[in-house]
Amino acid sequence: MELSPESRILYYTLLSGLLADAVDLSALSSGLSVRRDDPLLQSLVKMTDEWVEREEAETRLRQEYANLFLLPGGVKPYESVYRGSEPMLMQQPWVDVKRFYRRCGWHLDESALPEDHVSVELSFMAHLLSDGEHDESSEFFHQHLNQWIPQLLRDIAENRYADFYQSVTDYGLAFLCAETEICEGKK
Amino acid sequence: MFSLTINGIEVMAKEGMTVFEAAEKAGIYIPTLCHHEDLSTFGACRVCMVEADGSLVTACRAPVEEGMVVRTDSPEVRQVRLSNVELILANHNQDCQTCDKNNNCKLQEVSAFVGVTPERMQSMRRFVKDEPVDDSNPFFYRDQTKCIMCGICIRACEEINGVGAIDFAFRGYETSVSVLGNKPIYDSRCESCGECVERCPTGALAVKDQSIAEREVKSTCPYCGVGCGVTLGVRGEEVVSVRGTRDHPVNHGELCVKGRYGFEFINHPERLTSPLVKKNGAFEEVSWDEALDLVADKLSGYREQDGADSLAGISSARCTNEENYLFQKLFRMAGTNNVDHCARLCHAPTVAGLATAFGSGAMTNSIADIEEAAAFFIIGSNTTETHPVIGYRVRRARKKGAALIVADPRSIPLAEQADVHLQLLPGTNSALLLAMAKVIVQEKLYDDAFVADRCEEFDEYIEALESVCLDELADITAVPKEKIIQAARIYAENTPSTILYAMGITQHSHGTDNVLALANLAMLTGNMGKRGGGVNPLRGQNNVQGACDMGALPNVFPGYQSVISPENRRKFEEAYGVELSGEPGLTLTEMFKGAGTGDIKALYVMGENPAMSEADTGEVKEILEKTEFLVVQDLFLTETATYADVVLPAASFAEKDGTFVNTERRIQRVRGVINPPGEARSDLEILCDLAGRMGMSGFDFSGPEDVMEEIASLVPNWAGVSYQRLNGDGLCWPCTDEADPGTPILYTERFLREGGRAKFSPIVYGPPQETPDENYPLIFTTGRVLYHFHTGTMTRRSRGLNALHDRERILMNPVDAENLGLNAGDTARVISRRGEVTVEVKPAPQIKEGTVFMTFHFAEACANVLTNTELDPASKIPELKVCAVRVEPA
């Protein structure tokens, strides 16, 4: 699938935002309204349309986010946990990611999220693309993103608390599949 | 003093010193591989050879003599040393570049010093043993290809810990360090304390996957009440190592497996990172403003509508003194004394009992002088598993000849080394102690001078003892009378004798009487106010002593100043600027009852897990479910937190500054080395913010040091305490002014009761509230194991500790198991009048017939589902140690 650079930036930014915090349904619905025919976003559009009609949707989304990402029964969206020698925070993968950011002149401001949180890594990719750093972006995709985020998305999809986020994972996996083709071509 | 010459330099040395020690004192380096300052000399490596009066000797074993002439660097000495090192290197695995001890290896250091050359290494016929690495232990590995047979590990295991799990095995070239049966170390008696690993001079013993720290910071262990000094190794934002602080007065660098290796919880991915509020039965993330505004509104609302006593706070024996102080301040300023913490479940009888007997409810002696005891009476304490570093001291003292009496219903590890093991029935402590007192009085083994000079109400005590019958008491305990007599004589006739005790004494419906009985024995024999003596409650949590000291109790302000006293109230009212209640508040157990009836509307739980630790947790969970407003502040989503309306993420001991008080009353610094994860905050910050939102003034502290200043101004026993003075070894309270060095041993001159005398308290034996009958024929008792800590919040998040002890099992005597048709590994139902659990069976001969045992570490099979809520009337502790159960195959 061919994706324009602008689209790729948008998709990374969107996925980063969806995984950074509980979804703001009305903002998402508004944002998706101009891309309703986008093939990558179909699952997300459909789910958003359904949820906008639901009662107490915002509350349920926040609860789903908490159950999936903040509480023991959910997933641990950190590269260290997935790729470290132990399933703990702040392992070698975190150090490697920070090193990569520094190499690209990128520094994380005061943030509650560590550098290897999924949304931070996705946001970094968006920044690299918007700065035209295609070689670095391809390298980061192969060395980091694609090494663990597909598995994270699959774990979210299989988690018993996932409802709205099923569509996020559908979108994420489809996008990363497209990205794999693009970045393979750049290898 | 002797005068000797070393390398032409005159050196003065004390009699008994070795040449090695004398040289070291004079700043002269002698290489060595098998010598270690903490251990006995071995003289095996032959690297410390020196020439003494013309003969070659090992410096580590040769005693100094007057006029001795020593050369440490003669050509012959150099040649012998070089040859010995070359022989060691000949069979040594030389993967130095990738070895965990690279640049930190004694063999490297010594090889460089003696001048090993590449040519000589090339010329040697090298043969490295083909022995696989033993990585069965989850924390460290053993690589015999790097072992230099120095024996340091063996001596550490024998002399520091006292376990003796390893030794030399086989002979000649085949000699290796092994365990009994040459099995993997996991299958041995090894307790994973790491003392051998810490001292190994090469990479033969090394911690698995340990990063090298960038910096190290001294702090205090967050686990048990021993309060070991730890040095945290930090790399970036991660605690990567923990070692014992060598010059620390409590532990001298020694640690147990939890303290040394159990820090995985700090960076665990399940740490709470943001405030959560429950809406429609599920949690959602909220901002701190939203969470704290909600809590403030609710607490203020309930106070206004239903009165201040509709609020209740459970403070934390895990949090710092400053945080406990602020917690009680907040609730007291809100108008209620409904403040308590988990001491209610452990040493509340100690606080009540020892205060009655002596005037203060704390450990009377110091951990250091435990090793000076001529006799130990350890009752209701599985010391080597619950307070391991104190257990090391007991084992060491035993090896030096101290007598040991152990009173425990189980054959605990220390019982194996005891002169006499009193294997009493659970709940019969006071009968045993009365019997011992009877023997001491009848045989006139008591210290009448001490009793006359320093005690009162002795006559009443003697009169009460006359009515008890030794034979009857022995029958009650099921301990043979002869053993009781033997124990009494050992305790009374050896001076000084020390008493160590824990939950086996306190967690009973007569817990306070049990403590008073111990105090009576100590007074009777004059074992008070002297080194190696005393009555020493071993406090469980890292800061349960501090939580008590800081007034997180319903009946006292900080410093045990009674809330009833108008004078005390005036002092605190002046300090806090509001009127305070003079009515004692509810205890922990009463708070739950109140929450169940709806009298308590809001319950605030900081750093405690009553859903696992209270008696009859089934009822507690029902109460938590229906509590109108529940706030839980913790590191993880604990079993209690799942019921909360608001969950607040808190910082661990590694992420904040403050102080803890250990069991010997030593106030010690805790230092933050990393930031808390996500949006988690220190409990101090949370409480100050909350207090501000509730409109309270007096919480504008710049940090914990400021809080300590306020504490010192209000607590006379802490008046001399400041952060500056705590930077060294800490201070044992009482510390009443800036010149006071602290008080390691209490009552050397006088007791703290009015009049300065200790008080005898006659007691009467009372049985447990629930005894076996035909429906529930077994006695159920509870306890702990070495590898886990209390409700498992921290230790069950360590994969290594879980690997060493992975699940709950019910321990029962093999005869009982057979009678029930149960084998090892079978699943059983354990049923009491309060509930049932399903658990794996483990037949264990160390458990008496008719008794069964479980820990309370595992939520999946929580022992406290079964335990009894009957209370000790004086201290309100529930009878956690005794109830009746039946066991059936599942």
The ranges of chain A with pLDDT < 70 are 1, 110-111, 186-187
Distance CA B708, CA B670 (A): 13
Distance CA B102, CA B94 (A): 10
pLDDT of amino acid A169? 96
- What are the φ/ψ torsions at residue A78 (nearest 5 degrees)? -130, 140
pLDDT of amino acid B574? 98
Looking at per-residue pLDDT, the higher value among B696 and B122 belongs to: B696
Beta bridge partners of B423: none
Q: How confident is the model at residue B165 (pLDDT cuts 50, 70, 90)?
A: very high
CB contact under 8 A, B285 and A62: yes
**Residues A49, A51, A53, A58, CA torsion sign:** negative
Cβ–Cβ < 8 Å for B77, B50 = yes
Sequence-separated (6 or more) residues with CB below 8 Å from residue B327:
B313, B315, B316, B319, B339, B552, B606, B683, B687
Q: How confident is the model at residue B788 (pLDDT cuts 50, 70, 90)?
A: very high
Q: Is the ipTM of this complex over 0.95?
A: no
Block residue for tokens 């101290």: B402
Q: How confident is the model at residue B131 (pLDDT cuts 50, 70, 90)?
A: confident
Q: Tell me how far apart the 2 most distant CA atoms of chain A are, in Å.
A: 48
Q: How many CB pairs under 8 A join A and B?
A: 64
Rounded to 5 degrees, what angle do the CA atoms B577, B578, B579 make?
Answer: 140
CB contact under 8 A, A95 and B284: no
CB contact under 8 A, A72 and B274: no
CB contact under 8 A, B273 and A72: no
pLDDT of amino acid B125? 66
A62 interfaces chain B, CB cutoff of 8 Å: yes
Of B268, B279, B280, nearest to A88 by CB-CB distance is B268
CA-closest candidate to residue A137, choices A87, A187, A73: A187
| Mutation for testing the B interface, residue in A25, A59, A89 having most B CBs under 10 Å | A89
Angstroms from B641 CA to nearest CA on chain A: 11
Cβ–Cβ < 8 Å for B216, B234 = yes
DSSP state of B139: S
CB contact under 8 A, A63 and B280: yes
Q: State how far the alpha carbon of B132 is from the alpha carbons of B129, B143, B204, B722, in Å.
A: 9, 7, 12, 53
Segment B36-64 shows an average pLDDT of 94
Angstroms from A113 CA to nearest CA on chain B: 6
Distance CA B162, CA B164 (A): 6
pLDDT of amino acid B388? 97
Strand-strand pairing, B403-407 and B375-379: parallel
CB contact under 8 A, B236 and A65: no
Angstroms from A61 CA to nearest CA on chain B: 9
**H or E stretch covering B285:** strand B282-285
- Asked whether residue B143 carries a pLDDT value surpassing 70, the answer given is yes
Q: State how far the alpha carbon of B711 is from the alpha carbons of A174, A176, B659, in Å.
A: 60, 58, 12
CB contact under 8 A, A112 and B273: yes
**Residues B510, B513, B514, B515, CA torsion sign:** positive
pLDDT of amino acid A186? 58
Of B269, B284, B636, nearest to A59 by CB-CB distance is B284
CB contact under 8 A, B269 and A112: no
> Which percentage of chain B shows pLDDT scores above 90?
94
Please, what are the domains in chain A?
5-184 (1.10.3480.10)
A85 interfaces chain B, CB cutoff of 8 Å: yes
Angstroms from B826 CA to nearest CA on chain A: 29
Mean pLDDT of chain B: 95
Question: What is the 3 state secondary structure string of B49-77?
Answer: EEEECCEEEECCCCECCCCCEEECCCHHH
Block residue for tokens 């914990």: B704
B264 interfaces chain A, CB cutoff of 8 Å: yes
Block residue for tokens 């903040």: A70
Beta bridge partners of B278: B283
Q: How confident is the model at residue B210 (pLDDT cuts 50, 70, 90)?
A: confident
- Asked whether residue B95 carries a pLDDT value surpassing 90, the answer given is no
Q: pLDDT tens digits for B730-778?
A: 999 999 999 999 999 999 999 999 999 999 999 999 999 999 999 999 9
pLDDT of amino acid A87? 85
Block residue for tokens 């590191």: B635
- Asked whether residue B322 carries a pLDDT value surpassing 60, the answer given is yes
CA dihedral B741, B746, B747, B748 (to 10 degrees): -60
Distance CA B154, CA B196 (A): 7
Half-sphere exposure of B602 (CA within 13 A, CB side): 25
CB contact under 8 A, A88 and B264: yes
CB contact under 8 A, B284 and A63: yes
Q: pLDDT tens digits for B252-288?
A: 999 999 999 999 999 999 999 999 999 989 999 999 9
Residues 100-159 of A with CB under 8 A from B: 112-114
